[in-house]
Structure 1
Amino acid sequence: MGRHTKDSVEVGRAERIAAAAEDLSTTRPPVSTPPPAAAYAGEGVPPPPHTGARHEHRWLVLGVIALAQLMVVLDATIVNIALPSAQRDLGFSDGNRQWIVTAYALAFGSLLLLGGRIADLVGRKVVFLTGLVGFALASAIGGAAPSFEVLVTARALQGVFGALLAPAALSLLTTTFTDPKERAKAFGIYGAVAGTGGAVGLLLGGLLTEYLDWRWCLYVNLLFAALAFLGALRLLHPGAPLDRPKLDIPGTVLVSAGLFCIVYGFSNAETHAWSSAQTWGFLAAGGVLLIAFAAWQTRARHPLLPLRVVLDRDRGASYLAMFISGAGMFGVFLFLTYYLQQVLRYSPVKTGLAFLPMVFAMIVSSVVAQNKLVPRLGAKPIVPLGMGLGAAGLAWMTALDATSGYAAHVLPPLLVMGVGMGLIFAPAMSMATAGVAAHDAGVASAMVNTSQQVGGSIGTALLNTLATSAATSYLAGRQPTPAARVQAQLHSYSTAYWWSAAFFALGLLVSVVLYRKGPPRPAVGPTEGPVHM
């Protein structure tokens, strides 16, 4: 039978059963081995639930997960391209325009940890499918929106269901790929999709807006969601971990309110002064709530974010890497988009095409990093190298001016940035979820998304403020001629690039200090090893 027992009675029972089976085999043809579920059922124990796909379908599952992740990531930039057309169509003011972006960021950023924990509680397949359906419905409502209020409401709903979908997708990937070599390949592909989604959104948004209508920037999600839903329904197994945790209600309230205040405060900083109570008041409240959340997690019986998840050195380094790179990435997507469209006069489609070489560089470096470099060298030299390349590419971009050409001046730093981002995203996402117990996979995955989302919100607010101040300072004492205004724009972009480069330089320092040396260590036991401080 192959089963270990604790006393001689059980040993004798096993021997008798084996002897009976041998007698039967002499009179009957061999009987095929029963499936695992039957073996469990015969002992009166329910079969363990599936946490991923059938072994033979795992690469198809990766395609489903990557498609869902692409939909969530590109939605952040695809709508930005559609905003001017939507504003003309629905007639809302410049002051209200930011709410199309902020409504999504607030709901998504503040509910990610809750969404990850719900995936652990209810089951990843159910939450994944619910997120897909909800995101698609919200996109349909937004695409058909007759007014500004309906569009903002739809964007908030997209954020809510995106907060369910994104952690469930990453935790499904974590539990489906357990073999180290296959996991490396899977995370290389997933990291490339997550990192390049913003650039794909720029291109797709430009194509849809220019050749169809801005509403198709939302309707296109219906196609993505339908394909992912059908694939998930067919390939994913239902079930949640048997030892699934209970929901930490106080922790959920504290962290959701805290993240809401942080994201809202930094969003207000783009339209209000930093001295405004609507900016510093919300930031201060968010800080207090997050400190209270951290304190509660040390005392809670069933913490929302167990300290064993975040206090591992490699995981902590990965969360910080995602946070810092999320802040710095906006120096590329946001201000380089402004530069290409407002200074070089590129169309939205041409702007999207201009980012494609960076996308390809990111995909190649992600796959190479995860399959070749990290298994041999570990994350310690790879992620810092990516941070260094990111800083170098952004510093290179400060030389762009009104006479710069694409091939000679824009493309080289874009390629450097692409290689750097690929070296950061895939290893950081993989290390952030490696060795996590099944009942913590959802919330560990949610921390990856939360880190990147909050980092992006902070980066957008800070870089916008710094760039605006730089442009104002440049024009002080000068005649506001068209040439002077162009130079002020260029000066503001250069300032944003320098600060983004500083973010990546900080990321280099943090990742060098925190990541362990050597290749990734295998988990101790079937789920998770001890936490290394």
Structure 2
Amino acid sequence: MQKWSALITLSLAFFIIVIDTTIMNVSISVLVVDLNTNVTGVQSAISIYAMVMASLMLIGGRLSDVIGSKRTFLIGLVIYSVGTTLASLSNSLTMMIVGWSVLEGVGAALMIPTLQVLLRNRYSGADLAFAYGIVSAVAAVGAALGPIVGGFFTTFISWRWAFRTELVIAIIVLVMARNLQPDEASADRPKFDYVGALLSVVGWSSIVLGILLAQQYGFFLAKEPFLIGGLEFAPFGLSISPVTVGFGFLMVMLLFRWESRLEDENKDGLFKPSTLGTPFLKPGIAVRFVQMAVTAGFLYVFPLFLQLTFEYNAMQTGLALMPFSLSLLVMAVVGARLSARFYANHLLIIGFAIVIVGLMAIGASIQPGITPQELAFGALFGLGLGLIASQLLNLILSLVSPEQTAEAAGLNSTFEQLGNAIGVALIGTLMLTALSFGMQQGISASTVIPSEAKAPLTAGVEESVQLISDTQLEESLTAAGADEAISTELLDIYTSARTGSFKAAVSLLTFFSLLALVLSLWLPKRKLVETEAAGG
């Protein structure tokens, strides 16, 4: 048992990180009420969490080289514990963002890159392969059980106790961490790249924040001016969104130029850009980025659809996600067994094809009057995603030499989290835009709503429309003293527009999946006989 104590410790740590986001996804409706916010606010918290991880993942990997992997892991674990404590006590969206999105995100970004190093420090050969397999299984089980665990806590106890349970596990991990083997002492520890770290944080964060700002200020042209200290900022009538995204891309370009310069001068940096010159690595990471955007987008849209359309509680939502979760888990195991018989890129293409068929079936079934049973195609989506998960990360890491594995894994992890953040941000922005457009079209075409009331209603929709349930809308209309006929008409218009917004979201996910399938055509024909790394 002593031999595997380090594996148990790291698996527990990875489990709470994997399960964490699913708690938020199934608890959206309750969080909206308890934190006195709206769906957009919770969506922003989810995106910011992934954004923080994306911007700090490379930093976490480099920090482990500078101060040691065990120390970096422990610092990350302590920060994560403080964050989950603060999240459990949150009484506002701001407090939740600070605790969950920022502190937990920072902690996870320090812990994840050190997992592989700590496993390699303790195990080798067949033992290392077994350890990687266990960590991969933990990730799959966490993803499958997350909706159920989160739903149970939220419905029967409180979502706060889900975070408190994470804290208990984190404390257990902290006590067990003495079994982790530290890095060998070295006199030539690399220097930390402060300039690269700053460019990484500012660049990746600006891209994600720019997309989030589009919800309020518009994708391209400004719906309203952005205020800075009372001064309006809308250059040439542009929204702050494309300006911020453009600034982010500029910072990322500078990051790559800076890191290339350091590499050319044989100095220590966050990463070596030359690694991306490895044949097929760029399309591999691009596929991973898009796949994670699709996964995160689906896990945001599907629970939200269940909670707003059928008014499911968190537990019902978790149970409704079971066909997806179980099919994902089963196919992840089956797919791993297929690795020795079939080319990985062929399995990826088949996986994305199944995902596309599943999403198209879900999109076609989203109509007014839909029943929960018609969403069973989520299982088909899960099958495809499980097949993809069983192949993609191992294929990416098989493209590089053993010396480049840590470098490639760090870049892959960064783009994974960036895909998570951008996927949720884009989907949320698109849904609000589609909802607003559908509402305005419905109000304009209505023969029940008086002409003189249409303009103020349309203006109100454009300014403050949000995704809510039918019951919430009925309560708002009743509180406002609206005429019964107009209330019924507005409810019908809103329901239709909300359905359209979900269809638009699924259409975007389908497009992304098609893009990933096309990108997979550029990957090499290669059979993966054995697992090279954990994750998935």
- State the TM-score, normalizing by the size of structure 1: 0.77
Would you say 1:502 and 2:511 are equivalent positions? Answer: yes
Q: Which residue of 2 aligns with 1:295?
A: 257
Change (3 A) 1:193 1:403: farther
How far did residue 373 of structure 1 move?
Answer: 2.0
Code of the aligned partner of 2:339: V
Equivalent residue number for residue 133 of structure 1: 78
Q: 1:165-194, CA deviations, whole angstroms, 9 ceiling, x for partnerless residues?
A: 1222244456767648973x6556544544
C-alpha separation in 1, matches of 2:422 and 2:109: 18
- Greater displacement, 441-450 / 136-145: 441-450
The unaligned stretches of length 5 or more in structure 1 are: 1-52, 524-533
Amino acid at match of 1:355: L
- How far is 1:517 from its partner? 3.7
What's the counterpart of residue 244 of structure 2?
282
Displacement after TM superposition at 1:451 (Å): 1.2
Q: % of aligned pairs identical?
A: 25
Q: What SS does the corresponding residue of 1:65 show, helix, strand or coil?
A: helix
Equivalent residue runs for 1:201-212 within 5 Å? 201-212=146-157
Shift of 1:354: 1.4
Report the counterpart of residue 331 of structure 2 in structure 1.
365
Q: Structure 2: how far apart are the matches of 1:405 and 1:294?
A: 49
Q: 1:321 to 1:249 in 2, by over 3 A?
A: same
Shift in Å, 1:226: 2.9
**Is contact 2:212–2:425 with CA below 8 Å preserved after alignment?**
yes
- What residue in structure 2 maps to residue 384 of structure 1? 349
Q: CA deviation at 1:339?
A: 2.1
> Aligned runs of 1:88-487 on 2, under 5 Å?
88-89=33-34, 91=36, 100-145=45-90, 149-155=94-100, 156-173=102-119, 179=125, 183=129, 190-191=135-136, 193-194=138-139, 197=142, 200-234=145-179, 236-239=180-183, 245-275=190-220, 276=222, 277-300=239-262, 301-370=267-336, 372-400=337-365, 401-407=367-373, 409-411=374-376, 413-434=377-398, 442-475=406-439, 476=441, 477-479=444-446, 480-487=489-496
Equivalents in 2 of 1:195, 1:323: separation in Å?
18
Superposition CA RMSD, Å: 3.3
Deviation at 1:347, TM superposition (A): 2.0
Alpha carbons of structure 1 residues 134 and 332: separation in structure 2 relative to 1, 3 Å: same
Is residue 44–residue 212 contact of structure 2 (8 Å, CA) maintained in 1?
A: no
Amino acid at match of 2:287: A
Q: For each residue in 1:142-177, what CA deviation from the matched residue of structure 2 results, as whole angstroms up to 9, or x when unmatched?
A: 223465544332221111111101222244456767
Structure 2 unaligned regions, length at least 5: 223-238, 447-488
Return closer, same or farther for 1:130/1:286 CA change in 2, 3 Å cut-off. Answer: same
Residues of 2 paired with 1:95 and 1:519: CA distance? 41
Alpha-carbon distance, 1:437 to partner = 6.9
Alpha-carbon contact 1:468-1:492 (below 8 Å) kept: yes
Q: 1:398 to 1:431 in 2, by over 3 A?
A: same
CA drift at 1:283:
0.5
Asked which structure has the greater CA Rg, the reply is 1
Higher mean displacement: 339-348 or 190-199: 190-199
Cα distance between partner residues in 1 of 2:143 and 2:388: 16
Distance 1:213 1:446, change over 3 A: same
Report how far residue 308 of structure 1 moved.
4.3
Residues 1:361 and 1:83: Cα distance change in structure 2 (over 3 Å): closer
Q: Match of 1:151, SS? A: helix
AA aligned to 2:523 is L
Could you tell me whether the CA contact under 8 Å between 2:25 and 2:303 is conserved in 1?
A: no
CA–CA separation in structure 2 for the residues paired with 1:416 and 1:181? 34
Q: Is residue 281–residue 399 contact of structure 2 (8 Å, CA) maintained in 1?
A: no
What CA deviation, in whole Å up to 9, does each residue of 1:244-300 have, x standing for no partner? 543333222222211111121122223331134431121011101111112222221
Task: Give the TM-score normalised by the residue count of structure 2.
Answer: 0.76
In 1: Cα distance, 2:149 partner to 2:531 partner: 40
Report whether the alignment pairs 1:66 with 2:28.
Answer: no
**Is contact 1:189–1:366 with CA below 8 Å preserved after alignment?**
no
